[in-house]
Amino acid sequence: MTEKTKRRHWADLFLIFAIVYLGTQFGIRFLFPERFLPAEERAMPFVLTPEDASVKGGHHPILTLLNNTEYEVTFEDRCPAPPVDIYYRPDAPPEPQGAPMELLEPDAPCSPVQAIPAGKKGQIDLASWKYAAFSEYGYYAVNLTLPPQQAAATGAVLTTSFTMHEAGWMTQVFRAFVSKPLLNLLVFIASIVPGYNLGLAIILLTILVKLVLFIPTQHGLQGQKKLQAIQPKIETLRKRYGSDQKKLNEETMKLWKEYKVNPFQSCLPILVQFPILIGLFYAVRDGSHLALSTHLLYGPYKDLPWTFGTMFVGFDLLEPSVYVFPPLLVALQFLQMKLTFAMAKKKKEAKDGQAVVDVGAKDKAQGKKPMSQQDIQQKMMLYVLPFMIGFFAIKFPAAVSLYWGVSTLFAIGQQVVVNRKA
């Protein structure tokens, strides 16, 4: 094995290790955030903080409570009142004392705050009072009154604060031209399906959007296949002109021109459809609770006489599905990635003739050769991306997982068509 090959081999191993390590750290922080708090917060019995100190208009505040004690914290059911006392001022931080804000009925049905086990962090979601309490921009402070059995050791009240501000112009444009049309289309579809079923509406909306994006997506996939087809030739150019970047660029341009390859063909359609797919994701997520998305609804849909039917094939689409949808999404995403790289692998094997490259006596005996940069990237996407999607599906409502599953199935069908043509 040459010195250059050794360096490249170690660089590949380092890249794989770095990605796995960072992914593991992210997962641990996502699942166990209380382990990474500053020492002074870990030393306090209870720590109440907002998830976001500055909340964008159209969103709602979420509080987190860290329980550093040795016993579970339970909360009184204050519904329909919020679990905290709320204080507001438009121009300066309010003093969390005296009479709190008088609230009307909540915008959506509320439920008691779940108990927080010892040493864990829990959420206090204020979504049910999104419009009733937090419709004005300005400064907010909240008081959380602890149950008597916990209050004796820590003080009766915990306080935190945050601000509400107007959404930026990019967010407003995105909502106006992407989020609102898609969400209202979802509501329209639900209004004509049996039982106003949210699951059927999501499936139909996802297929409709994918059909609209079919041509640009197909164009992008074909461009991707062209790039994969000439990748072995590009690798040859890199080996030949690796030290001369200018010459390498010139020869690469010639190669693209010879095979009529546009490197942007596979990128531009993705860039065009990406905001639409993101908007579809938010439409499905926000559509699960229409009472909390009235700022995105058009006039005729603001006061609907019906609600979504949220049960679909035995699943409540408003709740995460831990044991079914995540592993299913992992399998579907893996299959899509496998199909995406299938043609490139076949072409590469045909070119190489499955021959053994002379990379040292040991490697030669074992029939191995060092992986190219493209091989490493493909393996990372093949094995890491599906598990990342499955991991996030554990946290999201099943409605989002259903959307992603239908979208991936459609993408698999498109990829099969492209592979057959290739």
Structure-token pair, residue 234: 């590009």
pLDDT band at residue 11 using 50, 70 and 90 as cut-offs: low
- Residue 206 phi/psi, 5° resolution? -65, -45
Give the integer Cα–Cα distance in Å for 282 and 328.
21
What pTM, to 2 d.p., does this model score? 0.72
- Select, from the ranges 95-104, 190-199, 303-312, the one with the highest average predicted confidence (pLDDT): 190-199
- Looking at residue 168, what DSSP letter applies? P
The CA distance from 280 to 263, in Å, is 27
Which letter does DSSP use for residue 179 in this model? Answer: I
- Per-residue pLDDT reduced to its tens digit, 310-334: 899 888 888 888 888 999 999 998 8
* C-alpha span between 82 and 84 (Å, rounded): 5
Residues 254-267: what's their mean pLDDT?
A: 70
- If we measure between CA atoms, which residue out of 253, 232, 231, 234 comes closest to residue 242? 234
Average pLDDT, whole number, for the chain? Answer: 78
Q: Is the dihedral of CA 42, 43, 45, 51 positive or negative?
A: negative
The count of other CB atoms within 10 Å of the CB of residue 93 is 14
Residue for token pair 């005296």: 98
Which one-letter amino acid corresponds to residue 205? L
| CB distance 106 to 33 below 8 Å | no
What's the confidence (pLDDT) of residue 188?
A: 93
Tokens of 248: 């390498």
